[in-house]
Amino acid sequence: MALTSLFIVAGLLSCATSAAYTYNTMYFSEPLDHINGDPGFITIKAIFSQGDPAGPLFVYTGDNNPIDQAYNNAGWVTQFLQPNYNASVIFIEHRFYGVSQPGNKNYNLLYLTTTQALLDWADIVQQVRPSSSTPVIAIGGVYGGMMAAFFRIKFPHIVDGAIASSAPFLAPFDLNGSGYARAASNDYAAVNASCASNINFGFNILQSLLERPVQWDTISNVFKTCQPIAEPLQIFQLQDYLTAAFKLIAEYNYPYISNMYGPLPPWAVNVTCGIISKYNQAPINIWTTLQGMYEVANMFYNYTGRLACHDIENTPNHGLPWFYQICTEMVWPEGQYGPPNDIFPLRAWNYTSYAQSCNQLFGVYPRPEWNMINFGMTMNANATLEFDSNFIFSYGSLDPFKTSCFSDLTNFDSLVLPINGVSTATDLRGPSPQDPQSLIYARNREVLMINQWIKNKVSSASKSQ
């Protein structure tokens, strides 16, 4: 298979650590359909740095975002793992995301599957690793964390261990999708109970103004919407625009300035609660409360001040490819139910209507059982890993995805690693003086496991010679 792939060095990225480690952008031509033959090819982007040929290879598995986002935010890999192991590192984009698209733009999303993506990566790893005895460790976060684990499960002869950070394997089993919204809401309540209730109050105000068109111009002015609000649908869009900001702030709640969707201050949830408190002082005024909601949204979407207005129709999402994936094999329930479950507007998740929407949009129906069939995923980590080994499943206590992460494991070859006081995939970010001791301890545990995986691979390779 490697002989059919086109390997092109396209450019040079800035060095992540020092002049000793140079990262190059590379493109690989992979079959659009690895299994059935020739409907064409797809170009897969990767970012690669060559280390010592005798060292390990760390593979950062892409997710439903451009791979540059992972490269720019996985400092633990580029700044710590690579220099300490003198390792080679490759970040590989997931097919149909970023620039990793088929050459024929009239492509069929039928070829967007986890299996096809894993086959892309298996072929690419075979090309870049120095030898078959090179230890290969897969690393990823959230959906990319799931893919890192799937890579190890499907290709144990290629991947020697996997770190799956904030990986929501249990999401398909959350039948009403209430877990994520509840966990994100609890992050705000943990700062201050009134913070959570005041955010919910702001959403309730918008709901109460839904059928009061005389107030819509004022809402438009408060939130600086690009288009004047002229119908109830736009109030729903504004609620969803705000909801996305509050949820993603909870995800990107790091102890230092972060830049995932855009720049955010350290401990952004605490900053958010400070803003909400400022605009909810007695005597309560609904417009002042809404002004506080606007200030939070403006911090998230417009931290640099470049936006002249807010396009409330442009709520962050991963685009059509991700909608297709969650309509097929990656069923991902996500609902909102208001108090006492969460602080957000009511958006109940219902499988029947969800499946109908998928069929109307793509002509497909979801397969919630597929990950159980394809990868052995169950609600019980021990049952899932009965025949597998060499995994780390990490998550933070402030992580909105934590309700869907494995939380219990007695498999001695693998590790469930809860990390107190941090949010989504914080262990994969660059080491910082602001890191809490719990995070430092967790990374040390991860290094011990990596050392063992490398030792086992080297020992196995020497015995086979």
Contact 47, 54 (CB under 8 A): no
What is the CATH topology of the domain spanning 179-301? Four Helix Bundle (Hemerythrin (Met), subunit A) (1.20.120)
CA angle 366, 237, 348 (to 5 degrees): 45
- Same fold for the domain at 2-170+379-464 and the one at 179-301? no
pTM of the full predicted structure? 0.92
| Domain residue extents for the chain | 2-170+379-464, 179-301, 319-362
Across the chain, which has 465 residues, the per-10-residue mean pLDDT values are 32 40 95 89 96 97 97 97 97 97 78 97 97 97 97 97 97 93 98 97 97 96 97 97 98 94 94 98 95 98 94 89 95 96 97 96 93 82 79 97 88 90 98 97 98 93 71
Q: What pLDDT is recorded for position 34?
A: 95
pLDDT value for 107: 66
CA dist., res. 208 & res. 235, Å (int): 10
Residue 92: Cβ within 10 Å count:
30
Helices 268-278 and 193-208, packing angle to 10 deg: 60
Residue 104 confidence (pLDDT): 67
Contact 220, 229 (CB under 8 A): yes
Among all chains, which residue has been given the structure tokens 């060559």? 50
Residue 285: closest CA among 198, 194, 211: 198
Contact 394, 164 (CB under 8 A): yes
| Range list of H helices, 74-230 | 75, 82-85, 114-128, 143-154, 179-191, 193-208, 216-223
CB burial of residue 330 (10 Å; 0-12, 13-18, 19+): buried
H or E stretch including 416?
strand 415-419
Query: How many whole angstroms separate alpha carbon 363 and alpha carbon 358?
Result: 7
Contact (CB, 8 A) for 328 and 110: no
CATH topology of domain 2-170+379-464: Rossmann fold (3.40.50)
Q: pLDDT at position 379, please? A: 77
Give me the half-sphere count of Cα atoms (radius 13 Å) on the Cβ side of residue 148.
32
Continuous segment of H or E residues that includes residue 440 = helix 437-464
Residue 108 has a pLDDT of: 84
Contact assessment for residue 332 and residue 172, using Cβ atoms and an 8 Å cutoff: yes
pLDDT of residue 5: 36
Q: What is the DSSP annotation of 390-410?
A: -EEEEEETT-TTGGGS-----
**C-alpha triplet 268, 271, 277: angle, nearest 5°:** 140
